[in-house]
């Protein structure tokens, strides 16, 4: 019974603790979502301002033109073009001071989905090539196509984004607020289902002692020998235990056995009477 009570106490404690944590997560998610909603407009404007291709490019090069540009080894340079006027990869070349061409990396399908915005926030610029230069030097960029291209320093743009406190607050509140809200919602539904689940009654069966067991309990001897309520066969002397004497006849043996049985029955009958009287 103590283990059962302790188990119930532990279950109630766990349920109470789960409810407390669900409330905390719900409150925290609501606060974060409200912060995100409040900072969304301002942070979006700042992101567009810092990622606007028209204002944050290193070089704008029209079709058929070439121009020198200073690039650094730690930079990460992306050539973009308008979505409707895309250039081919072989139409863009980057030449170092020794006249060797720097081979660009063609963006994969996922990277091409990372379009860049214009001043109005519209995502209209598509990545064409990515350059990773080996040294800090001056390079010559050649546009052999018919459309305009822009070269961007993505590392510089990303650094400016993460250094803006408003943008960081908006991103953190968005990334944590909604997932915590989902966790709190799922946890609340689980607790609600368990609360409405019909409780199963626990039946504890206790063994009821029989009359024989009660008799043995209250009439036990010092040697833990329990007298039988019936005839004690061990006290009956049979023909085998009696001495064989010529003077003893079969009649005497039968009378002797009947007397012994009668004495044993009277003795046991007396004990049962005492038991019935509560002695």
The pLDDT tens digits for 25-67 are 889 999 999 999 999 999 999 999 999 998 899 999 998 899 9
State the pLDDT at residue 227: 52
- Is the pLDDT confidence value at 20 over 60? yes
- Is the pLDDT confidence value at 96 over 80? yes
Helix or strand run (H / E) with residue 184: helix 165-196
For the entire predicted model, the pTM comes to 0.58
Separation of alpha carbons 73 and 78, rounded Å: 14
Contact 65, 101 (CB under 8 A): no
- Is the pLDDT confidence value at 1 over 50? no
Q: What percent of the chain has pLDDT over 90?
A: 32
Q: What is the mean pLDDT of the chain?
A: 76
State the pLDDT at residue 140: 93
User: What is the CATH number that goes with domain 59-162?
Assistant: 2.60.120
**How far, CA to CA in Å, does 148 sit from each of 61, 80, 88?**
6, 9, 12
Helices (H) and strands (E) in the chain, counts: 6, 9
**Of 18-22, 114-118, 259-263, where does the model show the most confidence?**
114-118
Interval 113-166: pLDDT, tens? 889 998 888 889 999 999 989 889 999 999 988 889 999 999 999 999 999 999
CA-nearest of 18, 45, 12, 51 to 191 is: 18
What lies within 8 Å, CB to CB, of 101 at 6+ separation is 93, 94, 95
The domain spans of the chain are 2-51+165-196, 59-162, 214-277
State the pLDDT at residue 37: 93
Q: Which is more confidently placed, 199 or 84?
A: 84
User: Reduced to 3 states, what is the DSSP secondary structure of residue 199?
Assistant: coil
> DSSP label at 23?
H
């Amino acid at each position: 019974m103590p283990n059962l009570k302790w188990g119930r106490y532990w279950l109630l404690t766990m349920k109470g603790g789960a409810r407390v944590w669900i409330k905390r997560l719900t409150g925290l998610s609501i606060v974060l979502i409200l912060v995100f909603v409040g900072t969304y407009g301002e942070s979006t404007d700042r992101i567009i301002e810092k990622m606007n291709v028209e204002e944050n490019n290193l070089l704008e090069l029209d079709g058929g033109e070439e121009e020198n540009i200073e690039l650094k080894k730690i930079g990460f340079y992306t050539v973009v073009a308008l979505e409707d006027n895309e250039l081919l990869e072989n139409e863009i070349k980057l030449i170092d001071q020794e006249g060797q061409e720097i081979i660009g990396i063609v963006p994969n399908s996922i990277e091409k989905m990372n379009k860049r915005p214009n001043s109005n926030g519209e995502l209209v610029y598509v990545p064409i090539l990515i350059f990773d230069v080996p040294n800090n030097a001056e390079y010559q960029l050649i546009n052999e196509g018919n459309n305009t291209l822009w070269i961007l320093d993505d590392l510089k743009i990303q650094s400016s984004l993460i250094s803006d406190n408003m943008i960081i607050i908006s991103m953190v509140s968005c990334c944590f607020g909604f997932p915590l809200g989902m966790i709190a919602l799922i946890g609340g539904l689980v607790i609600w289902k368990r609360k409405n689940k019909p409780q199963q009654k626990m039946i504890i069966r206790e063994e009821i002692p029989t009359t024989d067991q009660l008799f043995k309990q209250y009439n036990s001897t010092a040697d833990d020998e329990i007298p039988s309520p019936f005839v004690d066969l061990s006290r009956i002397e049979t023909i085998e235990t009696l001495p064989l004497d010529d003077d003893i006849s079969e009649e005497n043996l039968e009378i002797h056995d009947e007397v012994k049985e009668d004495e044993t029955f009277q003795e046991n009958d007396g004990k049962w009477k005492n038991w019935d009287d509560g002695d």
